[in-house]
Amino acid sequence: MKTSTYVTLILLTTLLMGVAFPVGKIGLAYAPPFLLMGCRFVLAGAVFAIITARKPQPKGLKMWLQAAVIGLFQSAGVMGCAYFSMRWITSAESSIITCTNPLIVIVLSTIFAGAVYNKRQWIGVVIGFIGVACAFGLQMSFQPGTLISLAGACCFAVATLLVKRWGAAFDMNVLAAYQMLAGGIALLILSAVTEQPHFTFSLMSVTVLLWLAIMGSIVQFSLWYFLLRSGDPGKTSAFLFLVPLFGVLSSWILLQEKVQWYAGVGGALICVGIFLVNWQQKPKAKPHAAVSLMKET
């Protein structure tokens, strides 16, 4: 792949990831968060499943359950927490916190998978978490949305490790389709239990839902997996530090959200930390625990 093509696709993919945060917040004016995300992923998963119907499908109950579990963490956990957190914090702040997942992956891999990482990567973890403290600790108190968004980042880290462990048995686009479908169904059930489900139909609400389902899910996943297959996954994943940057910029443009100086400094530190963690990432032991990031906003 030509360098110019690679860079263009990386920028487009991370832009779609970042823009999904403010677009989703616009959608919260028309539907509660769990219902909105449930509709998004059921629609995206169903369409993607039809598109990938001729690709190798999961075989046996075990593979179907694995796809469902990944969906519970990846689509339901990550995006459910991200959009629910926007009741208390801005979409820019939610994008910054959610994208700390590569830092959490390092910690979880070390504790549970016995992976060993180099000093640069641990420096990146420290810098990243200092960034989180800088972005939100200066407010002297954590908003409920901060903790909810952090829970989403943890779900993202768990999903990343599960995909790395189980993903080799799947066609990745097929896995993406079914994990979105499973996560979407879980979110719709959660909405029925915890929310007063309603969807206000208008040109804007339908446009937002279609954008999130098509551009923010199907196109985004297809491009991301194509890039991971076509190049070095570690180097490709390093560019995820662009996601919170695009999330902050698009929130400012679309929602006129004001970004405080300390949130900007914290976001910059998080980006530096993620870059150090992912660039040429090669654990010294147990290669199966290496970090390979999978992203949906």
| pLDDT value of residue 292 | 42
Distance CA 31, CA 39 (A): 10
Distance CA 166, CA 172 (A): 11
Distance CA 179, CA 150 (A): 21
Helices 91-98 + 261-278 axis angle, to 10: 20
- Residue pair 257/251 in contact (Cβ under 8 Å)? The answer is yes
Say yes or no to pLDDT of 289 above 50: no
Mind listing the pLDDT tens digit for each residue in 165-190? 888 888 889 999 999 999 999 999 99
Distance CA 129, CA 205 (A): 36
Q: Which residues, other chains included, contact 134 with Cβ-Cβ below 8 Å and sequence gap of 6+? A: 262, 265, 266, 269
| pLDDT value of residue 180 | 94
Distance CA 52, CA 58 (A): 12
* Structure-token match 């999903």, residue found: 159
Mind listing the pLDDT tens digit for each residue in 69-89? 999 998 899 889 988 988 888
* Strand, helix or coil for residue 250: helix
- Residue pair 248/259 in contact (Cβ under 8 Å)? The answer is yes
Mind listing the pLDDT tens digit for each residue in 44-65? 999 999 999 999 999 999 999 9
| pLDDT value of residue 237 | 66
| pLDDT value of residue 287 | 47
Pull the structure tokens for residue 53.
């119907």
When mean pLDDT is compared across 33-37, 105-109, 213-217, 286-290, the lowest value belongs to: 286-290
Run of H or E including 153 = helix 144-166
pTM of the model: 0.79
